[in-house]
Amino acid sequence: MTNKTLYEKLIDQHVVRKLDDEGHVLLYIDRSILNEYTSPQAFSALRDHQRPVRNPGTILLNIDHVNPTRPERDEAMTDAGGQLQVDYFRQNAEHFGIELFDVLDPRQGIEHVVAHEQGLVMPGMVIAAGDSHTTTYGAFGALGFGIGTSEIEHLLATQTLIYRTLKTMLVTVSGELPFGCSAKDIIMALIEQIGASGATGFAIEFAGEAIDALSMEGRMTLCNMAVEAGARGAIIAPDEKVFAYIAGKPQMPTGELWQQAIAEWRDLRSDADARFDSRIAIDCSDLEPKVTWGISPDQASAITGRVPDPAQEKDAVKQQTLRSALKYMGLEPGTPLAEIAITHAFIGSCTNGRIEDLRAAAAIIDGHKIAPHVRGIIVPGSTQVRQQAEVEGLAALFVNAGFEWRQSGCSMCLAMNEDVLAPGDRCASGTNRNFPGRQGAGARTHLMSPAMVAAAAIAGHLVDVRKFMTAEV
Ligand SMILES: CC(C)[C@H](C(=O)O)[C@@H](O)C(=O)O
Ligand code: SF4
C-alpha cells in the first residue's frame, strides 16, 4: 500500500532523473501543443544550434491566438505582426516535420479544445505546452501545465523538462450544483475564496460528488481556470465518464490495447490515505451565479451582490487595491451588480467555448433578441464545435437573436486579432482573465458563465440568469 496522491504518481511515472533535494527533476513529457505566439524563439534557437526536434510525432502546432475570426475565412492575418508569426510557424512545421493545424484545417480551433477533440489527451499523460491553460487536460486525468519559450526549446530538443515538483492541494466539492450554476461558478467561487494566487506552487486535485457529477466540458472549465488561482496543474481522477468521452477519438487505442489502457487508467487515483499539503472544502449547494466586478478573477461576487465599498476595508493596502479596481472598472461602490450596463457580450475561449457552453447559452437566448445597444459575439472553441452548433441549429438561433457567429480562435479572450474592445467598452464575457486591457486597452471585462453572458446580452446589463430560466432548463 502506498499513500501517494495522483499528482505524485504521475510525476513518479515520468521522472527520468532526480536533480537535487529541492524537488527538481528531469521530467519526461508525453505530448506538447504549440501556438504561433509563444513558439517562434524556441524554434529559432533550435535552428541556430542546428538541433532537430527529438520526437516530432508528439508535438502539434496549432494556430489560434492571432488568427481572424471573421465569418469568411481565408489564410491571411489581419496585421503584419500576426502574419509574420503565422508564416514562421508554417515554415517551422515544414522544417522540423511537425504536424500543423493551419487556419483553414477543419481540425483547427483553440488548442485546448482541439487537443481533446483529436484524442491527443489520455489519462496518465504529462502534457506541457506553451500556454498556461494547458491545465485543462486535468479533466482527463492528465497532468497539463504551461511552459515558457526557453522551456519549449528544451522540450523540443530533449522531450524532457527541468521541473520543480509542486505541493498538493485537495479541493473537495460537495453538494448538488444549484439551478442556474455551472462549473464556471464553482471555479470562480474557489478563486474568490483562496485568491488569485491561492494555489501558487500547488497542483490541485478536484474531488467530491459535485465533481463526479460534472460533465467532461464542466470538468475542463474547472481545470482550465484553476490556473487563475495560480495552480500549475489541476487534475481529476479519471472515471468511466472520461473513458466514454475519449473512446473512438482519433489517435485513441482500440481493441485489446484500449481494454489494457482503461484497466491501467482505472488505477489512476490518489491513495485513500494520501497526504495533501493543503485541503479546501467547498459546498456548492448554496452557490449563486458569479460575476467579477474587478480586475482580477478573485474580485468576484454572486450576481445578487453589490460593488464593494473600499471605505469598509480596514486594511490600507487592500483598500487601495479596491479603489484602483473600481476606478479602472468605472464602478461606484454599492451599485447592485445586476444594474451594471454592458456594451458587449462575448462567448468563447478555451474555458467556455465548447458545445455544451453554446447549448447553455442557446437555452437562455431561445426566443429572445439581444438588447439593441449590445454587440454580441460568439466564437466557437473549434471548427468542429462550430460545425456541431450549426448542425444542432444553435448557430441560427444565435444569429436570429442578433449575435455575430464567427470562426474559431482565441479572439476577444485576449484581443490579439482584430476582435478588440475600445476604451470604456464593458463586456460580459465567458472567458477567464479580466486584467486591465485584456480585451482591449481601457476596456472592462466581467467574467461569468456563458449562460450568464447570454442573459446579460438580452437584458443589456449584468443580470441573474435564473430570471431567464424555467426549472427544466
Ligand atoms: C499567449 C499565451 C502565452 C497566454 C497563456 O499562456 O495563457 C494566452 O493564451 C492567455 O490566455 O493569456
Ligand atoms: S482562448 Fe484565451 S485563455 Fe484560452 S488559450 Fe486562447 S487566449 Fe489563452
Task: Answer yes or no: is the C-beta of 63 below 6 A from any ligand 2 atom.
Answer: no
- Res 471 pLDDT > 60: no
Distance 412 CA to ligand 2 centre (A): 9
Cβ 160 vs Cβ 30: under 8 Å: no
**Where exactly are the structural domains of the chain?**
6-278, 290-468
Read off the pLDDT of each residue in 351-380 and give the average, rounded to a whole number: 98
Q: Which ligand is nearest to the CA of 417?
A: 2
Report pLDDT digits (tens) over 33-71: 999 999 999 999 999 999 999 999 999 999 999 999 999
Report pLDDT digits (tens) over 424-456: 999 999 999 999 999 999 999 999 999 999 999
Atom of ligand 1 nearest to the CA of 37: 1
Q: What pLDDT band is residue 473 in, cutting at 50, 70 and 90?
A: very low
Going by alpha carbons, the residue nearest to atom 12 of ligand 1 is 414
Q: Regarding the domain delimited by 290-468, which CATH topology (the fold level of the hierarchy) does it fall under?
A: Aconitase; domain 3 (3.30.499)
Q: What is the DSSP string of 93-113?
A: HHHHT-EEE-TT-TT-B-HHH
What pLDDT is stored for residue 2 in this prediction?
87
In the DSSP assignment, the letter for residue 457 is: H
Domains 6-278 and 290-468 share a fold: yes
Query: According to the annotation, is 410 in a ligand binding site?
Result: yes
Average pLDDT of the chain?
97
Please give the torsion angle defined by the CA atoms of residues 319, 322, 326 and 327, in that order, rounded to the nearest 10 degrees: 60
pTM for the complete prediction? 0.98
Going by alpha carbons, the residue nearest to atom 2 of ligand 2 is 413
Report pLDDT digits (tens) over 292-304: 999 999 999 999 9
Q: Which ligand is nearest to the CA of 38?
A: 1
CA distance linking residue 128 with residue 184, whole number of Å = 24
Considering the four listed CATH numbers 3.30.2350.10, 2.40.128.690, 3.30.499.10, 3.30.1330.60, the one that applies to the domain covering 6-278 is 3.30.499.10
Closest CA to 223 of 164, 324, 137: 137
* CA-based torsion, 318, 322, 323, 328: positive or negative: positive
